[in-house]
Amino acid sequence: MRFQPVGQLQFWNGTEWSTAAPNGERIEITDALGNAISYRTDGVSNTPAVIGEIGSDGGLHEHLEMSIFDASNALGGSVGAYRIELKLFESKANSDTSVSIATSPIAIVFNRGLEHEKFELAVSAAADLKDNSVFVAETGILDIQQVKALGTYYKVKLRHIGDYKFELIKAEEITGIK
């Protein structure tokens, strides 16, 4: 399983999502091979990252290191919410060649010291952004705005049920997409 970083780092300024981070913050994700994937307000690394190998039982259990740095390279970053996007895909073994890819990005929203209510406001605003997917770790809910399955497009909601597995809790067919 791999991911392709997309978009750019966004910061919640208390009112809206912005590409202006207070102290030049960036988020780095270290993949399973030790490669650093960087999300900045001016863009992302173009290199696909390795999450791990899917087992014969269809399971995957890996931990990727995610860190926030400021412009001086200090670990931490300003208090606020940070949003990144990625597309998951499965590749051939030891290859960047995709055998499947998500049709819409998944957004991850990090909370760096915000009160719960302020973070929920940031997450709600992120969920309102078009053509994206949002995972909220605190609730375990993954909303995917557009996914293709068996030739039909759907908007789906999944619930994390533990053991790195999700259950489908809602699916709405999207009409008019070719």
What's the distance, Cα to Cα, between the start and end of the chain in Å?
A: 27
Is 145 among the domain residues?
A: no
- Per residue in 65-88, pLDDT (tens digit) is 899 999 999 998 999 999 998 888
As a whole number, the mean pLDDT across the chain is 83
Number of domains in the chain: 1
Per-residue pLDDT tens over the stretch 10-29: 999 888 889 999 999 999 99
* High-pLDDT (> 90) share of the chain, %: 29
Pick the closest to residue 141 from 168, 114, 117, 101 (CA basis). Answer: 168
Is position 56 within any domain?
yes
Residue 154 located in a structural domain: no
Select from 26, 32, 12, 20 the least CA-distant residue to 127: 12
- pLDDT tens-digit profile of 115-145? 998 998 888 888 666 556 777 777 788 878 7
| Domain assignment of residue 153, yes or no | no
In a domain, 151, yes or no: no
CA distance 157 to 28: 27
Residue 164 lies in a domain: no
Q: What is the pTM of this model?
A: 0.70
50 within some domain = yes
* 56, pLDDT greater than 80: no
| DSSP 8-state class, residue 170 | E
161/109 Cα distance (integer angstroms)? 20
Residue 91 structural domain? 2-135
Phi, psi (rounded to 5 degrees) for 94: 55, 40
